[in-house]
Amino acid sequence: MDTIYIVGLVVVLALFFDFTNGFHDTANAMATPIATGAMKPRTAVAVASVMNLAGAFLSTAVATMISVGMVNDATTLKPEIVFAGLTGAILWNLTTWFLGLPSSSSHALFGGLIGAVAAAAGFGAINLDSILQKIIYPALFAPVIAGLAAWLATRLAYAITARSTDDDLATGRNRFRYGQIFSSSLVALSHGTNDAQKTMGVITLVLVAGGLQKDGSHVELWVVLAAALVIALGTFSGGWRIIKTMGKGLAEVKPAQGLAAEVATAATILASSKLGFALSTTQVASGSIIGSGLGRSGGKVRWNKAGQVVLGWVFTLPAAAIVGAISTALVLAGPAGLIIDAVVTVGVIIAIFQISRRNAVTHHSVSSEIEEASEVVESAKQRKAAAKAAAKSGKAKK
């Protein structure tokens, strides 16, 4: 098949991936300000989408990390391999989304690409050092860093606004809601600096592989524009999900705590984007929400819930790598294999879209990972309520 068609197909699929990423992650940035009433849902969604657009233009460090850093020599790569990796990532992502399993779209993308390249050209073709330094180690440390920053920031905010002993005035902590308008916008901006870049990186990678660009050290302007616009569009379309789930899981997150968590998330992602760390923004935001929950007095970790969240993170990359490797085997078998891979991917996309439209929207398919993560921490109030309920049912039995 003509190289140009495959390159075109990859560009379209990569932009589709970009769209779903924005769609999926709107809630990460905007669920808290909507839940606390700081912003109207419509305004929040519009702001998030504009901030994503702006963020995509700030830096291309993460994009070049993918186009240069992941593969030892991208010019020897066939565009079919990038296609196989991308379809593997999309298949894994949609299936886990449909089944309600925790996953990270960023790690699905890296896993799919790594698996595809390894299956086609062996492990020697992969730049292991760069992948460890820019993807794996940051994946381990960034959520912890964000959690620590959020924990410290929450303690600081509560200490400064604590009631002094001689007055009975309100602490004014509700005023943090207004700060959240800015902090959540900042999260949306940082999302653009990291997640939109991943799409740019994949498109640049396939342009190099297809011989349409000399090397991956820079990103073409049209690629930046396309990725930025599509992620903004996806973010905007994702708005309806927030309106359905708002306040369900995040009711426990108080404004001061939410602000601290969002500032920590944004700071961690922005600093990482600067160094070209390709992160899962969802994992960083989850680390922050857990850290800030523990920063409030009496917060306790629900370890089984924490285990579930982390397990989903660990599995995504290797699982997507296997799917990526399988689709590579298919694609390398000949043009028929490539067509089968394309048909399966498009078929799954359409089928899941149809099913999710027909079925009533269930909580698991619309709730964000951040809400899941917020359930990891049990607040003092929740514990009291649980103890009360237990005592009541105990009495009732007697």
Partner 1 sequence: MFTPINWTNLFSVAGAAIVGSLAVVLLFSVGVRLLVNADHAKAKASKGDVKALRAEAANRAGSYALFALSFGAVIYGILLIIPNVIPSVK
Binding site for partner 1 (CB under 8 A): 58-59, 61, 128-129, 132-133, 137-138, 141-142, 145-146, 148-150, 152-153, 156-157, 160-161, 167, 169-173, 175-176, 179, 182, 186, 189, 193, 256, 259-260, 263-264, 267-268, 270-275, 277
Contact between residue 325 and residue 182 where contact means Cβ atoms under 8 Å apart: no
The Cα–Cα gap between 119 and 121 comes to 6
The helix/strand/coil state of 378 is strand
User: Which letter does DSSP use for residue 163 in this model?
Assistant: P
Residues ≥6 apart with Cβ < 8 Å to 334: none
One-letter amino acid identity for 173?
R
Q: How far is the CB of 172 from partner 1 (least distance, A)?
A: 4
Nearer to partner 1, 70 or 149 (CB): 149
Closer residue to partner 1 (CB): 273 or 374: 273
- Least distance from partner 1 to the Cβ atom of residue 394, Å: 42
Give the residue with the Cβ less far from partner 1, 179 or 216. 179
* Closer residue to partner 1, CB minimum distance, 170 or 350: 170
Shortest Å distance, C-beta 146 to partner 1: 7
Of residues 152 and 346, the one with the C-beta less far from partner 1? 152
3-class state of residue 60 by DSSP: coil
Give the phi and the psi of residue 163 in degrees, each rounded to 5.
-65, 135
Question: In which element (H, E) is residue 301 found?
Answer: strand 300-301
Nearest to partner 1 of 175, 364 (CB atom): 175
Residue with tokens 């600096």: 193
Rounded CA separation 95/115 (Å): 18
Q: Contact, 252 vs 98, CB < 8 A? A: no
Where does residue 51 rank: exposed (0-12), middle (13-18), buried (19+ CB within 10 A)?
buried
Which residue number, 175 or 244, has a Cβ lying nearer to partner 1?
175
Determine what percent of the chain falls in helix, strand and coil, rounding each to the nearest 5. 80, 0, 20
Residue 194 CB, shortest distance to partner 1, in Å, is 11
Strand-pair partners of 126: 71
Q: Which is nearer to partner 1, 273 or 281 (CB)?
A: 273
- Min dist CB 178 to partner 1, Å, is 9
Determine the Cα–Cα distance for residues 45 and 21; give it in Å rounded to an integer: 15
User: Residue 387, CB half-sphere, CA atoms under 13 Å: how many?
Assistant: 7
User: Cβ 293 to partner 1, closest distance in Å?
Assistant: 16
Q: Which is nearer to partner 1, 104 or 272 (CB)?
A: 272
Q: How far is the CB of 142 from partner 1 (least distance, A)?
A: 7
Residues near 310 by beta carbon (within 8 Å), at least 6 away in sequence? none
> What type of residue is 188?
A
Q: Report, in Å, the least distance between residue 24 CB and partner 1.
A: 24
* DSSP collapsed to 3 states, 210-235: CCCCCCCCCCCHHHHHHHHHHHHHHH
3-class DSSP state for residue 126?
A: strand
Q: How far is the CB of 137 from partner 1 (least distance, A)?
A: 5
- CB of 64 or CB of 93, closer to partner 1: 64
Nearest-approach distance from CB 193 to partner 1, in angstroms? 7
User: Helix, strand or coil for residue 190?
Assistant: helix
